[in-house]
Each structure stands twice: as structure tokens, then as C-alpha cells.
């Protein structure tokens, strides 16, 4: 587009100069005729500066927008790569003589013992499912939890 504007401006200047030459009485222009051509060249240069300034401003705006998008994307990547964790307390976990099973989201189930456990997870929304046996009876607890980038979320559950 800029190339077209520049080409069009140059062609216009060339045609105007050729028109001026047709009005010259000889091969050499008079001082007034030379001055008129010089003014046309000055106008042409002013027009070129305007085209270049307009293109530069448009380019700078586009470049600024791209930088903004890259910055936002980099921030998102940094946030999603931050380590996060979930600390779980099972209030009656000590009553589970053979331990309890922990499932966090799509992660494989893990066997745990005692009242507490923790797991490192990426940021996101998870369903935490705990299952065990107390007095030969299956008990469980389940809760959804949102874990932000760099967060250590604490969750307390009672197996029922």
C-alpha cells in the first residue's frame, strides 16, 4: 500500500514536470519556470514525508499491539508454569487402618496413611476424591477445589 502511494506520488510529479517542460519556450527553463518545478519537488517531498509518517505511526501501533500480546502470553505461560500444591487433612484418617486412597482430578490414585497428605499439581480446577475403609465400612469424601498459580491450597475432609 505504501509502495503504491509512493509510486503514484512519483508518477504525478513526473507528469507535472513534463507538463511544465511543454510550456518552456526553449530547452532551458527560465528562472520562474525552474522555480515552479522546484516548488513541485518540494511539495512532492512534503507528501512523501506525510506518507512515511503515516506508515510509521501505523507500524508503531501494530508493533505495540504485538508486543502487548506477547507480554500477555508470556505472563500466562509464567503463571501456568508456577508450581502449586494441595495439602489435604483427613480428620478421621487415623481410623483408616489400611490407609486411604487419594484421587485428584485425572491423576492416578495414590495410597496414603495417617491424617495428612500433599500433592503437587498445576494450577486448575480439581475434584478431590478420598476413599477408605473404617470398621470394615467403605467411607468417602469428595470436594471440588480451585488452585491458582503458586498457591498451596489446604483442604480438610471427613470420611463418611
Q: Which of 4, 100, 83 is nearest to 51 (CA)?
A: 4
Q: What is the mean pLDDT of residues 67-89?
A: 88
- The alpha carbon of residue 6 and the mean position of all alpha carbons in its chain are separated, in whole angstroms, by 35
Give residue 3's pLDDT band: very low, low, confident or very high (50, 70, 90). confident
Predicted pLDDT of residue 127? 97
- Report the 10 Å Cβ neighbour count for 12: 14
Predicted pLDDT of residue 95? 96
- The alpha carbon of residue 35 and the mean position of all alpha carbons in its chain are separated, in whole angstroms, by 55
Q: What is the mean pLDDT of residues 3-10?
A: 90
Strand partners, 109: none
3-state helix vs strand vs coil in the chain, percent to 5 = 50, 30, 20
Give residue 120's pLDDT band: very low, low, confident or very high (50, 70, 90). very high
How buried is 65 (Cβ within 10 angstroms: 0-12 exposed, 13-18 middle, 19+ buried)?
exposed
- Which triple of cell numbers denotes residue 64? 505495540
Render pLDDT for 46-77 as a digit per residue (tens, 0 to 9). 999 999 999 999 999 999 999 999 999 988 87
Predicted pLDDT of residue 27? 80
Q: What structural domains does the chain harbor?
A: 2-80 (no CATH), 83-157 (2.60.40.1120)
What angle do helix axes 31-81 and 2-23 make, rounded to 10 degrees? Answer: 180
Nearest-angstrom CA–CA distance, 156 and 149: 20
Render pLDDT for 142-154 as a digit per residue (tens, 0 to 9). 999 999 888 999 9
Q: Between 129 and 83, whose confidence is greater? A: 129
Render pLDDT for 24-45 as a digit per residue (tens, 0 to 9). 888 889 899 899 999 999 999 9
Q: What angle do CA 74, 76, 79 make, to 5 degrees?
A: 110
Predicted pLDDT of residue 26? 80
Is residue 22 predicted with pLDDT exceeding 90?
no
Q: Between 77 and 20, whose confidence is greater? A: 20
Amino acid at each position: 500500500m505504501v509502495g503504491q502511494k509512493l509510486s503514484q506520488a512519483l508518477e504525478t510529479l513526473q507528469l507535472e514536470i513534463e507538463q511544465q517542460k511543454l510550456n518552456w519556450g526553449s530547452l532551458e527553463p527560465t528562472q520562474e519556470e525552474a522555480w515552479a518545478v522546484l516548488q513541485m519537488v518540494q511539495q512532492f517531498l512534503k507528501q512523501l514525508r506525510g506518507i512515511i509518517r503515516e506508515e510509521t505511526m501505523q507500524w508503531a501501533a501494530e508493533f505495540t499491539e504485538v508486543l502487548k500480546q506477547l507480554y500477555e502470553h508470556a505472563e500466562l505461560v509464567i503463571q501456568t508454569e508456577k508450581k502449586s500444591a494441595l495439602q489435604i487433612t483427613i480428620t478421621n484418617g487415623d481410623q483408616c487402618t489400611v490407609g486411604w486412597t487419594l484421587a485428584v482430578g485425572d491423576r492416578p490414585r495414590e495410597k496414603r496413611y495417617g491424617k495428612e497428605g500433599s500433592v503437587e499439581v498445576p494450577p486448575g480446577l480439581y475434584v478431590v476424591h478420598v476413599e477408605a475403609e473404617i470398621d470394615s465400612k467403605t467411607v468417602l469424601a469428595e470436594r471440588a477445589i480451585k488452585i491458582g498459580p503458586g498457591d498451596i491450597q489446604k483442604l480438610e475432609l471427613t470420611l463418611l
